[in-house]
Structure 1
Amino acid sequence: MGGTILTLELTDNDFKRISTLVYAKSGINLHHGKKELVKARLGRRLRATGCQSFEEYFNLLRNEQEGVELVRMLDALTTNKTSFFREKNHFDYLEQVVFPEILERNRKKVKIRCWSAGCSSGEEPYSLAICISEYFRSAPYLDAKILATDLSTAILKQAADGVYSESKVQGIPITLLRRYFRKGFGRRDGYYQVKDRLRNMVTFKRHNLMEQASFLEPFDLIMCRNVMIYFDKATQHTLVNGFYRHLRKGGRLFVGHAESLTGIEHPFTYVQPTLYRK
């Protein structure tokens, strides 16, 4: 029995309307070079929703009351590429400079608050949790909390589960792998799960960086790495100045290797490439 293959065309007008909506809701700047990526990724959402065209899909997004499909669309468009201990120089700096400062502040009761903004599938906040746990192993009392946020609900569920394939954990030293991960067996063979003591340090939440946020206490450090490359200068300005407000005095902001605050008006003090201090 023959079937009809639906050929979906993303017109320039459809792309403009969708990219404008994405920018308004998330701050992500989809320039025209992203048109084919949008067509491929949203094509799956069209099939899932039964829409016959991108115009019909846009009208669905615009008219739905609950915003469920909007979240699913943003999930589909969000790039989630990360790895454990990515940009190792940042973790070296934490151990050599930031953590000694925190320890000096109060040796009897170490308190540290971190925010992984754009945490993707969890490798960054778990790397941070390992780094903290290792450095402060001999501290009499450690109160460490890491907030890990992302726009994608799907990737946050994956991150909270804390399960990674063998290839994902290859770069982790064997001693740390044994200390902080459980090796899977049977159906989980070839996979590793983050142990509870590490997972308990991290709270995963959905957060749109374009929305106003309020926190109970300021952060010692914020990591927002390889996220701002998706935003235009105006959005970057809003984001960076928001990070400044949420850091304690002397707190650090880490950005990605392809990012800098050049051309953005901000009150941070430059420390070294990709690293800034309040």
Structure 2
Amino acid sequence: MNGAQFKKIADLLYRDSGIVLSEAKRSLLVARLNKRLRTLNMADYGAYCDRLEGPDGVEERRHLLSALTTNVTAFFREMHHFTSLTEEVLPPMILEARRGRRLRLWSAACSSGEEPYSIAMTLLDAFPEAPQHDILILATDIDPLMVDRARQGRYGPEALQAVAAARRDKYFARAEGGFEARPALRHCMRFGELNLHDAWPFAGKFDVIFCRNAAIYFDTPSRQRLWHRFGQALVPGGSLYVGHSERLDGPACPYFETAGTTHYRRNAQPIPALPA
């Protein structure tokens, strides 16, 4: 892969997703894409660059994203977030739901689904009658392959090691090769492909947003724009949970207050629209 080919692929990736691929990542790119070239029976990266901009380019760029995004996740990863959700965030939300208010939670980079299923288990433990109320957990990811895996809700025994056996058996049924999420767990969940860099196809606001270890792929302007958009998407008092190595920065900061470790709460200040 020569410099011009690397730049073309990096520019396409940034244009499509906001993900920054520095020159230092060229060897990683080659390692991740070699298998794809073999699958396509392509001899070199010149032909691959042509494909990215050809008639099959849109579909191929989805494969490129799948190859380059690192889907590291686990059930109840960063447990302090779920403790916060249980002890601080959900109790007032549950009272409001019982009074008839709709509740919306969003796992905005759901990967293979462990995070939104962890949110759903936490919610159902605290509020078993949640399916009888207007509650939705939205789970989205830029990678369609990951969204499909999440939607299936099937996991091997090793993936569920972090889940206590009683909780696991309550929410998952034994299936070939491991476990499958029970209908009661899926009831409040919806899965979809979504690029955080693009327009978001919903107008309603969220009470809780988890977006952990996604902004680390973005450059500073794209990351700060994402924080601002999350601020616009949250109700006053709503919670934003970010990754362990991430911190809110930029123009969105005045609209959030620190509520815990990598947990931010949206304050009541009106947040202006982003400039065009």
State if a TM-score over 0.5 links the two structures.
yes
Matched, 1:22 2:10: no
Q: CA RMSD in A?
A: 1.7
Change (3 A) 1:140 1:274: closer
Aligned to 2:183: 196
Contact 2:97–2:103 under 8 Å retained in 1: no
Aligned to 2:200: 213
Aligned to 2:269: none
Change (3 A) 1:223 1:140: closer
The superposition leaves residues 197-244 of structure 1 with CA deviations (integer Å, 9 ceiling, x where unpaired) of 112221111111100114242110100001111111111011111111
Change (3 A) 1:216 1:235: closer
- The one-letter code matched in structure 2 to 1:122 is G
The superposition leaves residues 29-53 of structure 1 with CA deviations (integer Å, 9 ceiling, x where unpaired) of 1112221111011112212222221
Q: Distance in 1 between matches of 2:133 and 2:214?
A: 30
How many pairs align? 264
For residue 83 of structure 1, report the CA deviation from its aligned partner.
0.2
For residue 22 of structure 1, report the CA deviation from its aligned partner.
0.4
Q: Which runs of 5+ in 1 are unaligned?
A: 1-9
Change (3 A) 1:49 1:173: same
Contact 1:109–1:141 under 8 Å retained in 2: no
Q: Distance in 2 between matches of 1:105 and 1:204?
A: 25
Deviates more, 1:169-178 or 1:266-275: 266-275
Aligned to 2:113: 122
Q: How does 1:104-183 map to 2 (within 5 A)?
A: 104-109=95-100, 111-137=102-128, 141-183=132-174
Contact 2:98–2:133 under 8 Å retained in 1: no
Q: How does 1:231-270 map to 2 (within 5 A)?
A: 231-262=218-249, 264-266=250-252, 267-270=255-258
Q: Distance in 2 between matches of 1:11 and 1:239?
A: 32
- The one-letter code matched in structure 1 to 2:216 is I
Q: Distance in 1 between matches of 2:125 and 2:189?
A: 16
Q: Distance in 2 between matches of 1:172 and 1:254?
A: 21
- The higher radius of gyration belongs to 1
For residue 109 of structure 1, report the CA deviation from its aligned partner.
3.9
Q: Distance in 2 between matches of 1:235 and 1:140?
A: 36
Identity level (%): 37
Q: Which runs of 5+ in 2 are unaligned?
A: 267-276
- The one-letter code matched in structure 2 to 1:251 is G
The superposition leaves residues 60-98 of structure 1 with CA deviations (integer Å, 9 ceiling, x where unpaired) of 111225611111111111111100001111111111111
For residue 139 of structure 1, report the CA deviation from its aligned partner.
6.6
Aligned to 2:49: 58
Matched, 1:98 2:89: yes
- The one-letter code matched in structure 1 to 2:205 is P
Contact 2:131–2:187 under 8 Å retained in 1: no
Normalising to structure 2: TM-score of the pair? 0.90
Change (3 A) 1:89 1:58: same
Matched, 1:13 2:9: no
Contact 2:97–2:134 under 8 Å retained in 1: no
Normalising to structure 1: TM-score of the pair? 0.90
Contact 1:150–1:206 under 8 Å retained in 2: yes
